[in-house]
Amino acid sequence: MIVDIKGVRKLYQSPEGEIGALDDITFSIEEGEFISIVGPSGCGKSTLLSIIAGLEAPSGGEICVDGSPIRGINPKIGYMPQKDQLFPWRTIWDNVTLGLEVQGRRDQSHQEFVKRLLARYGLAQFTGCVPGQLSGGMRQRCALIRTLATGPRILLLDEPFSALDYQTRLSVADDIYRIIKNEGKTAILVTHDIAEAVSMSDRVAVLSARPGRLKEIVDQPELHGLDPMRRRDHEMFHHYFNRIWKEIDISA
Ligand code: ADP
Ligand code: MG
């Protein structure tokens, strides 16, 4: 396994007292696996992702990556936050190489790697543009390429499509799924959209309302390896959708 989450708890202090955000979360993720985390709003999905990213420490339990406990930000992990967070005044090139720049690794071979990614994913002719000149879907691909540029093995995606309209979202989800599979990455996707989770992941982890507890992990063996578009037509799609929907306590 590449990520091992063991008894993770998170408490936040607030003026009204302690808020339990996560309670006793335990599961592990295999190398190359695509897993989604779903659950009602406020159940701790983003909190779990930021703990895996090393941006926050758990209040209890621990997370190991490749057998070592997480201590702060880890170069093996690429984190793509909810908003694409491209800088509007920087060109696409300066945006996608930002992570490399911050890490002092904007050398020739990394630049070549980013150029190949841009070409492969249809963005080569836009490197001199600023983000405002690109569509929402293209900006999302840029955000993913920026995350891939530093060579992480694990990608953390927090509601990456929520700013996109429904049609764009379907095709960008398809794109991003292919990019992640082609590049052989392990991916953890947080979403509140059950159809998105079923259409992209190998397994779906369902959290309860706050404090988030792991209710179930649903494996979808019939859908493994199929593109999101194909899955939406698959006879098992609604079976998994309904099963996960029944698990999520939307009344909370
Ligand atoms: P989700 O992503 O599932 O919607 P979050 O992980 O963002 O949920 O938040 C889980 C709970 O923890 C929420 O009740 C939220 O208000 C609370 N929370 C998140 N971050 C903080 C923080 N920095 N300080 C206090 N409470 C927080
Ligand atoms: Mg969130």
Give the sheet arrangement for strand 203-207, strand by strand.
Answer: 77-80, 154-158, 186-190, 34-38, 203-207, 214-219
Q: Whose CA is nearest to atom 14 of ligand 1?
A: 42
Looking up tokens 């989450």 gives 5
- Per domain, the residue ranges of the chain are 1-76+186-252
Measured at the CA of 2, the angle between CA 220 and CA 98, to 5 degrees, comes to 105
- The architecture (CATH level 2) of 1-76+186-252 comes to 3-Layer(aba) Sandwich (3.40)
Helix (H) or strand (E) holding 50: helix 45-52
From the CA of 12, the nearest ligand is 1
Largest CA distance in the chain: 53
Amino acid, single-letter form, for residue 134: L
Cβ atoms of residues 76 and 154 within 8 Å? yes
| pLDDT one digit per residue (tens) for the chain, 252 residues | 999 999 999 999 999 899 999 999 999 999 999 999 999 999 999 999 999 999 999 999 999 999 999 999 899 999 987 766 899 999 999 999 998 998 898 999 999 999 999 998 899 999 999 999 999 889 988 998 999 999 999 999 999 888 788 888 898 899 889 999 999 999 999 998 999 999 999 999 999 999 999 999 999 999 999 999 999 999 999 999 999 999 986 665
* pTM for this entry: 0.93
C-alpha neighbours within 13 Å on the C-beta side of residue 63: 30
| Residue 120 alpha carbon to ligand 2 centre in Å | 30
User: Which ligand has the nearest atom to the CA of 160?
Assistant: 2
Nearest CA to ligand 1 atom 10: 44
Q: In this structure, which amino acid lies at residue 151?
A: G
Ligand 1: centre distance to CA 125 (Å): 40
Question: What is the position in ligand 1's atom list of the atom closest to the CA of 39?
Answer: 3
Phi and psi at residue 239, in whole multiples of 5°?
A: -60, -50
Instruction: List the structure tokens of 145.
Output: 């390429």
Separation CA 102–CA 23 (nearest Å) = 34
Mutate to test the pocket of ligand 1, among 8, 12, 162 (most ligand atoms within 8 A of CB): 12
